[in-house]
Amino acid sequence: MARVLLISSTFPPVTGGSAVVYENLCRCADSAIAGFSARRDYATGRPFPDLAAHDARAGYPIHRTDLLRPAQKTDPGLGTRLGDLKLMAKVLARAVMVARREGARIICLGDLVYGGWLVFPLRYLFGYKVLVYVHGEEVTTHDGGGLFDRWRARFLAHAHAVIAVSSFTRDALVRLMGIDPGKIVLIPNGVDTARFQPRPPRADIAERYGVAGRRVILNVGRLVARKGQDHLIRAMPAILASSPDAHLLIAGEGPLRPTLESLIAQHGVQARVTLLGEVDDAALTDLYAQADLFALPNRQMPDGDTEGFGLVFLEANACGKPVVSGRAGGVIDAVQDGVNGLAVDGENIEEIAHAVSRLLGDGVLYRRLAEGGLEAVRQSDWKHRAAEFLALCDRLETVNDRQHS
């Protein structure tokens, strides 16, 4: 029986860093954590295909309800929509039923803005210990949203503990949300070292992606401005000037795709930049093996949107690849400049190009950072992180609720 119920809209088959975190915590906890998520894609309202088979293969208990939040992305607040109120009541009833079925005594909320409201009934009506898992952008982004967005600090203040994935996120919780530092627990993101490890590139994969005989720069992430794919494309002419055999592969989908397609044409690099779209797990590990280096020159956006940690940097390091990152957000915890990668100003095209070109052209530096990356991930296995999470839950169970008021 699970002791912890982890509630979030972002469980696989949803993709993204948060989904990877929650999946691996559950997978590595020996059934001590059960997941609770949605059957439908909140962006479209449509059911996920083949979900029953997917969940049967998950390796951890996971329960579903139709939606945890409204499918339409309008006002995230309560508003006056009766449908939203009915959905909230259904989610709460289902969550409590699942928690009781699993024997869970602690509930972790993985969606601050859209799911943070659950802290009130779960704590004060049903007596659960409640955690909130925070990645970064959900507290740094200033979007002027609805009621739930404005209540983020209240949700956090009423949780028994708040988990931050990086020192950047921890500091943002204190600075922007006014959270007591004593309530915040730092649990950095981990990496699946069984899945992500050094492997030789395969000739058939090189042929599939059209990169045979080329030096592959890999970028993996949602196509949004903070990830820096646009500036990486702008840097490609300078990179190609020093490394004519370079080729950039970008894996992921998102709203920035039309902009990236225009930039590729504008800079005349159609033959040297490939947008792969979404890739599955098997293709991702093949891509890491094929890559010479990983580059994601992230930056903070004017509305505060930024990377909370950057799991992909650990994944690349675990595969023996040095990385190029931005200096924004929680990535400074994942990438140490000159140790496991090169950190750049994600707004500076010239600096991005120079860092990538250095790694492609300096074999000594390349090998040193590749080895530094392998060393960086040795203590970052998800089994260690799941153990830290469960140790926090054990501590909470022994503490009187009044001490958290």
- Domain check: are 234 and 366 in the same one? yes
Mean pLDDT, the chain, whole residue set: 91
Helix, strand, or coil (residue 251): strand
Query: CA nearest 109: which of 82, 141, 135, 72?
Result: 135
- Domain check: are 324 and 398 in the same one? no
- Domain check: are 164 and 22 in the same one? yes
Residue 402, pLDDT above cutoff 60? no
Burial 191-217 (b: 16+ CB within 10 A, else e): bbbeebbeeebeeeebeebebeebbbb
Residues 351-397 have pLDDT tens digits of 999 999 999 999 999 999 999 999 989 878 899 999 999 999 999 98
* pLDDT confidence of residue 405: 52
Residue 151, in any domain of the structure: yes
**Token pair in block for residue 173:** 């919780």
Residue 125 · residue 92 · CB < 8 Å: no
Residue 298, in any domain of the structure: yes
List 186's β-bridge partners, or say none.
164
Residue 82, pLDDT above cutoff 70? yes
d(CA 177, CA 151): 10
Other residues' Cβ atoms within 10 Å of the Cβ of residue 95: 25
pLDDT confidence tier of residue 281, bands split at 50, 70 and 90: confident
Q: pTM for the whole thing?
A: 0.81
Query: Which residues, in sequence order, are CB contacts of 340 under 8 Å at separation 6+?
Result: 313, 317, 322, 323, 369, 372, 373, 375, 376
Residue 78, pLDDT above cutoff 60? no
Residue 89, pLDDT above cutoff 60? yes
- The number of C-alpha atoms within 13 Å of 29 and in the hemisphere containing its C-beta is 28
**Token pair in block for residue 108:** 């972790």
- Domain check: are 347 and 259 in the same one? yes
Residue 166, in any domain of the structure: yes
Q: Range with the lowest mean pLDDT among 251-260, 339-348, 373-382?
A: 373-382
**Token pair in block for residue 310:** 């950057």
Residue range of the domain that includes 212: 203-377
What's 158's domain CATH number? 3.40.50.2000
Q: Range with the lowest mean pLDDT among 27-31, 79-83, 220-224, 382-386?
A: 79-83
- Domain check: are 110 and 129 in the same one? yes
Residue 174, in any domain of the structure: yes
What does DSSP say about strands 341-344 and 323-326: parallel, antiparallel, or unpaired? parallel
Residue 36, in any domain of the structure: yes
- Domain check: are 264 and 134 in the same one? no
Helix, strand, or coil (residue 323): strand
Residue 357 · residue 239 · CB < 8 Å: yes
- The number of C-alpha atoms within 13 Å of 16 and in the hemisphere containing its C-beta is 16
* DSSP line for 204-244: HHHHHHT-TTSEEEEEES-SSGGG-HHHHHHHHHHHHHH-T
Residue 196, in any domain of the structure: no
Peptide bond into 49 cis (omega under 30): no
- Domain check: are 308 and 334 in the same one? yes
**Token pair in block for residue 368:** 């040193």
For 99, counting Cβ atoms within 10 Å of its Cβ (0-12 exposed, 13-18 middle, 19+ buried), the class is buried
pLDDT confidence tier of residue 304, bands split at 50, 70 and 90: confident
Please give the average per-residue pLDDT across 329-345, as a whole number: 92
d(CA 225, CA 389): 31
Residues 205-230 have pLDDT tens digits of 999 999 999 999 999 999 999 999 99
Helix, strand, or coil (residue 56): helix
- Domain check: are 369 and 386 in the same one? no
CA torsion sign for 139, 142, 148, 151 is positive
Please give the average per-residue pLDDT across 113-136, as a whole number: 96
Give Cα 292 distance to the centre of its chain: 23
Percent of residues in the chain assigned helix, strand, coil, to nearest 5: 45, 15, 40
pLDDT confidence tier of residue 137, bands split at 50, 70 and 90: confident
Residue 126 phi, psi dihedral angles, 5° rounding: -115, -5
- Domain check: are 156 and 144 in the same one? yes
d(CA 276, CA 267): 19
* pLDDT confidence of residue 146: 59
- Domain check: are 170 and 21 in the same one? yes
Q: Domain total for the chain?
A: 2
Please give the average per-residue pLDDT across 328-345, as a whole number: 92
- Domain check: are 306 and 363 in the same one? yes
- Domain check: are 134 and 75 in the same one? yes
Residue 253, pLDDT above cutoff 60? yes
Residue 213, in any domain of the structure: yes
- Residue 217's alpha-carbon distances to 227, 290, 328, 353, in angstroms, are 15, 9, 21, 12
List 251's β-bridge partners, or say none.
220, 277
Residue 197, in any domain of the structure: no
Residues 152-202 have pLDDT tens digits of 999 999 999 999 999 999 999 999 999 999 999 999 999 999 899 999 999
Query: CA nearest 41: which of 6, 67, 60?
Result: 67
pLDDT confidence tier of residue 39, bands split at 50, 70 and 90: very high
Residue 80, pLDDT above cutoff 50? no
**Token pair in block for residue 249:** 């592969």
Number of H helices and E strands in the chain, helices first, is 18, 13
**Token pair in block for residue 357:** 């070109």
* pLDDT confidence of residue 142: 67
